[in-house]
Structure 1
């Protein structure tokens, strides 16, 4: 078999026109990246309908759809990981080295006393995470700044597990209503309530489960970004 001319990067709904046949009004299109003679990505992504993508790849439409969904799922996982890393480490990016080290080694205890420098690792993780969310290969860049953080109310049950995560409303009256309801629920299950800032709800779970120092810097970062 020869080297394929395309690789599937994902399936998107931002483009509704097939770049091959020109058909419009498609619910979704497949993002295809051209490959060079050695199988390396070469050029810019094009957006084809599943039928044209199947023809270009000499596949069935079902295989195209399945592969596109799998590629998109991998991208979503990378994005989620990037959001978690930024939500945890961006608040301590400019913190004192001691605090930054405590936060990093607290999450990576096996690297303590191994010569791994927390400052360098945090910088590397943040650079990679930001690059992931800034990637526009198959769609617009995703939010990645501390200014893009949103607050989430987290309800813990009495065993320390998270029972509920909800985004905090923008309106003051709704915030107060949510806070009261969250406290009532926590009292019912003999749990507790915490408010954290993060890029999404899943990242908020990570912050909520983190150590006290991480949450302290998380709160400082939110306050500084909205001063």
Structure 2
């Protein structure tokens, strides 16, 4: 069986023109990476083409349904990798320049099984951050996503008395709205006898991880936010 010349990387709505037939106004296009003779990816994001599902199906000798299903599944996998990358950055980027002792406490606090195994926390944190940043910088199916501490946003997190997260809301930019939200959040926390926190993260799901983290992780989270907005 001949090796395909293309690999589907995802499905996007940022390109509405087929790079094969030139048709415009498409609701979605399929991102495809060229492959070499051995079936390995042969290019970078700049070499990716965006085809309509019909042209993609013709190029791959597939049905349109198979193209759409594969593209959606691939895009979902990428979205999951992005979410994981945001989690890693939200937790570990604030301690990137922290003293080694604090960095180790944060890392081992999230990776209990690696304590006393010879795994060096400083090296592992660096690897996690490098991989996370590379993931979010991948422009295969769209522009690079935010990955800097300066890109963090603050979130109000309310936890119940048994430590289950009840609410996560992004803090508004306007001062009046912030005050109104803070008052409402405190009333809700008091009503359920819960805990109110404000944490910084790249996304709401990442804010949950920071809120659930240990005190030292949250302490460095606050320091990083303040330093980035000094």
Unaligned segments of structure 1, at least 5 residues = none
4+ aligned runs moved over 3 Å, structure 1: none
- The CA deviation string for residues 28-75 of structure 1, in whole angstroms up to 9 with x for no partner, is 100011111100011311000011111111111111111000000000
Pick aligned residue for 1:145 from 144, 148, 160: 148
1:189 aligned partner? 192
Equivalences for 1:55-66 in 2 at 5 Å? 55-66=58-69
In 2, Cα distance between equivalents of 1:51 and 1:59: 9
CA RMSD of superposed structures (Å):
0.7
TM-score (norm 2): 0.97
- Please list, as runs of the form range in 1=range in 2, the aligned pairs for 1:1-227 lying within 5 A after superposition: 1-43=1-43, 44-227=47-230
Q: CA deviation at 1:95?
A: 0.3
| Whole-Å separation in 2 of the counterparts to 1:157 and 1:65 | 42
CA distance in 2, matches of 1:222, 1:27: 38
Report how far residue 87 of structure 1 moved. 0.4
Q: CA deviation at 1:158?
A: 1.5
Q: Deviations over 1:182-211 (max 9, x none)?
A: 111111212111000000001100000000
TM-superposed deviation, 1:138: 2.0
Question: Deviations along 1:95-152, whole A, 9 cap, x unmatched?
Answer: 0000000000000011011100000000110011011111112211100000000000
Count of residue correspondences:
227
In structure 1, how many angstroms separate the alpha carbons of the residues matched to 2:102 and 2:129? 16
